[in-house]
Chains A and B, each alone.
Chain A
């Protein structure tokens, strides 16, 4: 007996594109793709057309033209005769500076506050809650402007520091807080300072090597070496020893009142202070919550098990809780770092000369290259964000739970 299997002939009708679930999603994707491409091409052709109507071309030649304006905070050499490209670079470095300072301080504040908010001390935990809620729920711009206003309105003017004035310098005449910023001593590097730097770097390497050795030894023999004291010793002793052996190759230049203002030293400008602290306090509040959630995410059983093994509370925190909490903390922390970097463009409120103010502000204004300038600016923030997030991802992968 033979069974004839009647295979139905595959036919394809157009309506299947819409009604057949095998094809539908593909159809929708193709249509969406075409629409996206059409709107993109419309945007580009419209821009090109309008640039033509305005009689403007599209080129980046302006970057090599002399800028003509001065920038107060320069990390690299810059004069008004330097190019617009150089001015953009000064701005980029200023953005990166405030982003780096902000991320560092925000992390310190965030970790401290996050841990303290879990404190059993009612007053401390409430105080931290007030800080977190206060800073998280008020717009960042207001904090920036408020700190700037306090600095410029409430601090003494440089001339108040003159003889018989109302203000005086702090810390043995080495630091002055004025309404133009804070003046601090500046290190001057003489001959031999490179040797000193090398010694310092070597002692850092030494600390790292010692910690590795101590860790290995503990795993093998169970002996615990005094890591902290040896590290501290390695950190300070060789550098200080060489400082005197080389005949003090680094001296400090103190700010001194002269003419209109303090001369010498480093001026930390109001605009930087306002931006730095507002960004740190604001982002720190978010990081505190991230840290708290990370710690709470580690089950209580872990702590109890650690105590049962006889670990002391601080070792429990360092060896058991934090390593596990880090896995929860790091991913949202990355996005806070990115937020802080992008929020630094609020510098516009206080005249901090970041890349938005140089390339995206004065340069665009003087050259009329809005499109090119904005594209470059967008490209910079994109690159900076991607670099930060990839570096943090590397760190995240190292901290991640390793499954064996």
Chain B
């Protein structure tokens, strides 16, 4: 009941709050910091480090937006949300944006009135099982007990997958990734299912990652995307083009190391010049300063840097770029031009 009251109060409080707001960008500026909704903790994507500072791939997205707005990547208040609370938190105005492994779907975009600012990770749902179980395919999971985070698209995919293959399962609904891993670790469920990236991240935190395998089947498309509320196009543009700036920066070879140097004076490449504000008025069009993209890239690096540092093959999580490589390298990342 406590949670119910809390949600209800949040809804009412949020409804009251949005009535007064003019535009999200003005609100964020007036507040002096960005409220960014993230997960309650998923290694590599968003989790506080030993010093209590949030680190991760999604966190970098929040920091880049904060840097684009304020020039200060640390001007972010991270709001941990569960699968169930995230949309209420965003709709009510408790957070300005969500960067929380959220799948871009039709009904969320159209019916739930959110705006997705472009995919920042192409993912798919997978299963993790202990090696000792001797399971090699998700289709062998007939009768298995499966732990699942409630309030997610994975919950719906799971139901569809087992129904389509005409096999049965027992869902164990859990609230957060940490709870899911605890149940999985205790053997209260045979398999744990979530986005394949999340499985890799969770597996890396186990004592013996080798004792667990991620099954080969990817049963869904999960384009994970940062999102904002519907109806404030300017704010949506800020988030969308901050992401595009990070992707374009990688494509153009702009990194956190050389971005200040390249932005000092206009260079030979007009697209780099426009991106970094040494040519044209792109920043002003967004309602931001001319060096917005410089700050965003300096904050956490370009897309590739952020990927490699947080979840790439050199980290314990060890995800390959795969679909998330630039289009020039055979991946799906393709930013519209800065012009």
Contact = CB atoms under 8 A, between A and B. Distances in A.
Interface of A: 43, 46-47, 49-51, 53-56, 68-72, 79-81, 152-153, 157, 159, 179-180, 258-261, 263, 270, 342-343, 345-346, 348, 351, 353, 356-357, 360-362, 364-368, 370-371, 374, 377-378, 381
Nearest to A154: B186
Given A261-B170, A346-B2, A153 B186 contact: yes
B156 to A, nearest CB: 4
A258 B143 contact: yes
B151 A46 contact: no
A50 B15 contact: yes
Contact of A54 (B18, B108, B156): B18
Contacts of B231: 53-55
Interface in B59-108: 83-84, 87-88, 91, 107-108
A46 B159 contact: no
B7 A374 contact: yes
B113 A55 contact: yes
Contacts of B107: 366-367
Nearest to B10: A370
Contacts of A263: 143
Interface in B282-339: none
A261 B143 contact: yes
A180 B188 contact: yes
Nearest to B157: A68
B213 to A, nearest CB: 16
B172 A351 contact: yes
Contacts of A81: 163
A68 to B, nearest CB: 4
B212 interface: no
Contacts of A54: 18, 91, 113, 229-231
A374 B8 contact: yes
A367 B111 contact: yes
Given A43-B12, A180-B170, A342-B1, 12 more contacts: A53-B231, A54-B18, A55-B231, A70-B162, A72-B170, A72-B171, A152-B183, A180-B145, A343-B1, A360-B7, A361-B84, A366-B151
A321 to B, nearest CB: 36
Contacts of B159: 68-70, 80
B174 interface: yes
B143 A361 contact: no
A361 B151 contact: yes
A348 B176 CA distance: 11
B18 A360 contact: no
Contacts of B108: 368
Nearest to A361: B84
B7 A46 contact: no
Nearest to A371: B11
23 contacts: A47-B15, A50-B16, A50-B19, A54-B229, A69-B156, A80-B163, A81-B163, A152-B188, A153-B186, A179-B186, A179-B187, A180-B170, A180-B189, A258-B143, A343-B1, A348-B175, A362-B84, A362-B151, A367-B107, A370-B11, A370-B91, A374-B7, A381-B1
B269 interface: no
B27 interface: no
Interface in B134-190: 141-145, 150-151, 155-156, 158-160, 162-163, 169-175, 183, 186-190
Contacts, number: 139
Contacts of B187: 157, 159, 179
Given A50-B15, A72-B171, A374 B145 contact: no
Contacts of A342: 1
Contact of B4 (A53, A260, A377): A377
Contact of B188 (A68, A270, A348): A270
Contacts of A46: 15-16, 19
In order of increasing CB-CB distance, the 4 nearest A-B pairs are A80-B159, A368-B112, A365-B151, A50-B15
Contacts of B4: 345, 356, 360, 374, 377
Contact of A356 (B3, B83, B162): B3
A69 B144 CA distance: 17
B1 A361 contact: no
Interface of B: 1-4, 7-8, 11-12, 15-16, 18-19, 83-84, 87-88, 91, 107-108, 111-113, 133, 141-145, 150-151, 155-156, 158-160, 162-163, 169-175, 183, 186-190, 229-231
B150 A351 contact: yes
B150 A357 contact: yes
Contacts of A346: 1-2
B232 to A, nearest CB: 11
A353 B1 contact: no
A200 to B, nearest CB: 33
Given A54-B113, A180-B145, A368-B112, A374 B19 contact: no
A51 to B, nearest CB: 8
A365 B84 contact: yes
B4 to A, nearest CB: 6
Contacts of B113: 54-56, 368
B150 A368 contact: no
Given A68-B156, A367-B111, A361 B150 contact: yes
A81 B231 CA distance: 32
A270 B170 CA distance: 13
Contacts of A69: 155-156, 159
Contacts of A72: 170-173
Given A47-B15, A50-B15, A54-B18, A362 B155 contact: yes
Contacts of A260: 133, 141, 143-145, 190
A53 B15 CA distance: 10
Contacts of B155: 69-70, 362
A97 to B, nearest CB: 17
Nearest to B141: A260
Q: Which of B91, B133, B174 has the most CB of A within 10 A?
A: B91
Nearest to A375: B8
A338 to B, nearest CB: 11
A377 B11 CA distance: 14
